Amino acid sequence: MTDQPTTRRSRPTFTDQEALQFHAQGRPGKLEIVPTKPMATQRDLSLAYSPGVAVPVKAIAENPSLAFDYTTRSNMVAVISNGTAILGLGNLGALASKPVMEGKSVLFKRFADVDSIDLEVDTEDPDAFINCVRYLGPSFGGINLEDIKAPECFIIEERLRELMDIPVFHDDQHGTAIIAAAGLINALHLTDRDMAKTKLVVNGAGAAGIACTELLKAMGFAPKNVILCDTKGVIYQGRTEGMNQWKSAHAVETKARTLAEALDGADAVFGLSAKGAFSDDMIRSMAPNPIIFAMANPDPEITPEEVSRIRDDVIIATGRSDYPNQVNNVLGFPYIFRGALDVQATTINMEMKVAAAQALADLAREDVPDEVAAAYQGARPRFGREYIIPVPFDPRLIHTIPQAVARAAMDTGVARRPIVDMRAYKAQLSARRDPVAGTLNGIFERVRRFPKRVVFAEGEEEQVIRAALSFVNQGLGRAILVGREDRIHATAEAAGIDLEGREGIEIHNARLSHRNSTYAQFLYERLQRKGFLFRDCQRLINQDRNHFAASMVALGDADAMVTGATRNYSTALADVRHVVDAKPGHRVIGVSLCLARGRAVLVADTAIHEMPSAQELAEIAIEAAGVARRLGYEPRVALLSFSTFGHPRAERAEKIQEAVRILDGMRLDFEYDGEMSADVALNRDVTVQYPFCRLTGPANVLVMPAFHSASISTKMLQELGGAMVLGPMVVGLDRAIQIVSLGATDTDIVNMAALAAYNIGG
């Protein structure tokens, strides 16, 4: 395992005015409530409210657990504060805490698809606060307490956990503890330490400090080896000054009385205190390879730069995003509640917290996807001293942490609705954050059942190697990397990827392949009347990986192929077309899958036909409808134009009308109509103005009048509308071949490789 070089990423900067404008622009604040059921007709209103609502009311009265089925309770968390400890700003009151609580609710939704509402309780009296919250219990599936000062936070959480049958979680305590514990697990591993023998100092005896101490002891730290300190020094047995019951629980027998004395010879220290709390001498006095978590916000107890001037054998983490190893609570609370809600847990117990910490630690040891690497501006993080904690934008968090939490809840008997099929649950979790994942899950499952040999043509590229490894690790089949073996291994080694002895990955060098003469002869027979000599074909097979890889597929030496990461789409397609023909009776087109606001729409042709004729448009519609079926959608095809059913009249619109007439002359088993504008095709309320329209619902396949309109619209949807766009997928070839966009990430390549293995194009 290789450590990445120390790099400090620049902190995002903004003015106070920009922050205010961000919160004020448009709808003030950061949240809105959107109905999940239609409210367009009187019947809708009757079902949503009176009299229809009486039916679930009676059902819940008879069986209270049905509230999880008929209301938002199963996916709703309340974020509650009284504003007595807002971030690092102190006691500014309940109302001032509202922007923070709204932000917390946004994070719940963004990272784990948990619906959340913020509640600000205007009292500093713990009993009044407790009574307020306890009676709100039926509204929510969980309670996230936030920014409440110690020691009141301990009293409030403990009492609410006793009184309520839903999870109550004070994130300032347990969130920090869980993330820090995950990082510490990995730091101990890297420094070859035994948890039971490690000497730890925790500086700061507030909510987070005490929670860290409790969690680490539950995980295996020996109580005698954990020294807790506060502003008055070491919390030792017999001390009376500044003590309370929570501090007393962690008092130890020791001669140390100051933080400096406690740190002398210590293996690790957790800082949950204030800027500057750790001096140079304190750091020097620690044991070899010390572990320092300086988590004070916004400024740590000591910075990584200061530590590096003192000694060079340190593993350090902070709460800051501009340093490696950020202890960020967003890695925990959204996913912990996701798992707890999904099994309808009655509480979040210690075992669930430990499971979350261990899952986070394990995730940091895995190879990271491109989405994570992009945030490091090209310096891909690898497990080591400066990457011991996953980063918040790692897409794997959503299906890793909730699973671990849910399992722990079931194992400890606090799950009211256990999950039977954990594989299906993982797929559901992936779909919550990434719509493409939801659409692809069925395809991935089929490919796993019938794994294929897929050729990755550009095998010397780092993202392609990563994609091939991921393809194999996900159980999708065997990966064949085309390229020079020494170059592939050198690229993999430089990227920290271990390919030695890796089961399921093959490397084929085109020039050295025993099949290249066969491929060259095959290609020559295809191209000899198109201006190619035998030596031209031989050179293409020996030197061009697309021709070699496509020949492997064409002659049955592989099942499918993916390429395009290093070449223009049209160039890669031209290479492939030298080797593979269109499937008999089919037209080769490009289809993109767009997912936005919970809707999936296929757009064609987004890659090949610049100005299709009426006949070509009809054939594009048929091919695209076939793709919709293979993806599990019942196709409703709209042939688009700037005009709708003859208005305004225009020569180009007549071509669309002719395409519809051509389709009318065929016996087709899917809905289609045109010409129509995009809003008529997609918006049912607009479509009703045309009662003769053949589509029974909003279109899910859009046939564009030209390549330029298809390409422009999908890219605008992606950039301005926040849509997820997969493709263009190549459809209509006689072999299973897909082309990614130039510069595609490893995730894009894996998705397209899976589509190729599934043979989505034919």
Task: Answer yes or no: are the C-beta atoms of 654 and 613 closer than 8 Å.
Answer: no
Residues 6+ apart with CB under 8 A from 560: 452, 453, 454, 455, 553, 735, 736, 737, 738, 753, 756, 757, 759
Q: Which is the catalytic residue, given 30, 58, 70, 104?
A: 104
94: Cβ contacts below 8 Å, ≥ 6 apart: 81, 82, 83, 120, 121, 122, 123
Beta partners for residue 731, in sequence order: 589
Q: Is 678 left (phi over 0), alpha (psi -120 to 50) or beta?
A: alpha
Q: Of the listed 30, 49, 569, 690, which one is catalytic? A: 49
Any catalytic annotation for residue 104? Answer: yes
Query: CB-based contacts of 245: which residues, under 8 Å, 6+ apart?
Result: none
- CA 36 distance to own-chain centroid: 23
Distance CA 663, CA 672 (A): 8
Nearest to 401 by CA among 372, 361, 442, 437: 361
DSSP label of 669: S
Rounded to an integer, what distance in angstroms lies between the CA atom of residue 604 and that of residue 274? 58
Rounded to an integer, what is the distance from CA 385 to the centroid of its chain? 24
Q: Is the C-alpha dihedral spanning 50, 56, 62, 65 positive or negative?
A: negative
Task: Give the DSSP letter of residue 10.
Answer: P
Please say whether the dihedral angle defined by the alpha carbons of residues 602, 606, 611 and 615, taken in this order, is positive or negative.
negative
Going through 532-635 in order, the beta strands assigned E by DSSP cover: 560-563, 589-596, 599-604
Residue 421 has φ and ψ, to the nearest 5°, of -105, 95
Classify residue 658 as exposed, middle or buried by CB count within 10 Å of its CB (0-12, 13-18, 19+): middle
Measuring CA to CA, which residue among 346, 365, 366, 363 is closest to residue 355? Answer: 363
Query: What CA–CA distances, in Å, run from 244 to 148, 206, 213, 231, 239?
Result: 17, 11, 15, 14, 10
CB atoms within 10 A of CB 707: 18
Is the N-terminal amide bond of 728 cis, ω within 30° of 0? Answer: yes
Active site residue 49: yes
The H or E element that residue 202 is part of is: strand 200-203
Q: How far apart are the first and last CA of the chain?
A: 43
Which of the residues are catalytic?
A: 49, 104
